[in-house]
Structure 1
Amino acid sequence: MADVNTIRTTAGTRAAAIDEGLRAHMNKVYGTMSVGMLITFAAAWAISGLAVTTDPAAGVAQLSASEYLTQFGYTLYASPLKWVVMFAPLVFVFGFSAMINRMSAATAQTVFYAFAAVMGISISSIFLVFTGYSIAQVFLITAIAFAGLSLWGYTTKKDISGWGSFLIMGVIGLIVASIVNIFLASSALMFAISMIGVLIFAGLTAYDTQKIKTDYLAHAHTGDTEWLGKAAIMGALNLYLDFINMFILLLQLLGNRE
């Protein structure tokens, strides 16, 4: 009986340690993601401020009745460099994902924060296109939806791992459709992309959250802190991308334009 009690106690202690480790892992994922979001919106706000002026003498192109693009803004948004700015985050994230196994966890975290800054530059034009109030409003809506979806993905007993391939195919389809619509400039296609995209990234939020949890539980017994550290960074990156994309798509649907 003593041996049975000892086994039960040991198993209970091990389970408690795994639960505590999982909570710490998820806190690191959400914390890293939150810092990335802060960097992104700080960079976007700062860049948009440098791109616009109310002084006609300092402007090189008129943006609205009272605002003008500075030379910096014109270079960023109206010159051929805009294509580099637009696609830089996509290239960055593919490169980061391919090279993370060669990085230390500390380096991966630094690269993630650099990516967040690049993303901020890429989406900085939202402050020129949409009102500040609608940006804040849509951000709040996105945050509430994201929190609910991520909580469901973490707590559900349903295995949603089968969603992965379908959702990734959907993302690829969105990217292709978005590139095509750059040249077509179809408002109807943009509306469809935004609607479908919100649903896809909503599903990915729940899927990625569950995957982060299951990956941790599958590797927790190894004690490989370096792997777990990089897994937390990749988890933060995936959830960050889900949030940013859902926010941008909802902004296209609900945002009030300047």
Structure 2
Amino acid sequence: MPVIVLLRHGVSSANTAGILAGRAPGVSLTDQGASALRDTLRMLPQRHFSRLLHSPLLRCEQTARIAESTLDIDRVEAVDELIELDYGEWTGRSLKELGSEELWKTVVDQASQARFPGGESIAEAADRAVSHVRSLVDELRTAERDDEEQRAKHHGESKGKGPRWAMLVSHGDIIKAIIANALAMPLDDFQRISAAPGSFSVIDFSGPRPVLTAMSVTAAGLSEGGVPGGGGLR
């Protein structure tokens, strides 16, 4: 019964400034963002996680550390597949300014066709993130089968580790792309999904198809989202 929790990094200095941070170095959580994140983590329905995988960027590393100090986690690891989109020449610019760019309409209405100047396409970012989730789910399923075999070998006396939960700490558009794929939603529609800073979403992979059981949950409610859509490209 693999279950994946998608945790977006807490509110960052770029979020509050309205800047498209992308992969720019040194973007950290605000004090308020870290505090709100701790409150939200206390709402999780699960406390033990087999894996915690996070984007290598500072704001996600800080978020992962807070989660690690709050939860019971077997293994923590930074993975490049969860890194923020490479926004190329858009990196560091204000969202208000970018809203007037011709490409912005494509990003909003035809995300699968959007490639950032000097950077990555949304489709490429979605493919790498979704592929990593699929590999992780397969790994968790294999571990669960091993647990079942151990229980059978010991005639049920071995408790095993039970259902495997994993947490992925990443960025808004990466999380939205993963959710869209789980819902069999075209990437062009992924801007309909919200992933607020510091929020968690839950996807249950135990059945024949993924089931989204929670989305963009924060202790503070919608106020942590900043703008509709959970912060857009921030």
TM-score with structure 2 length normalisation? Answer: 0.33
Which structure is richer in relative contact order (CA contacts within 8 A, separation 6 or more)? Answer: 2
**Which structure shows the bigger proportion of residues in helix conformation?**
1
Larger radius of gyration: 1
**Which structure shows the bigger proportion of residues in strand conformation?**
2
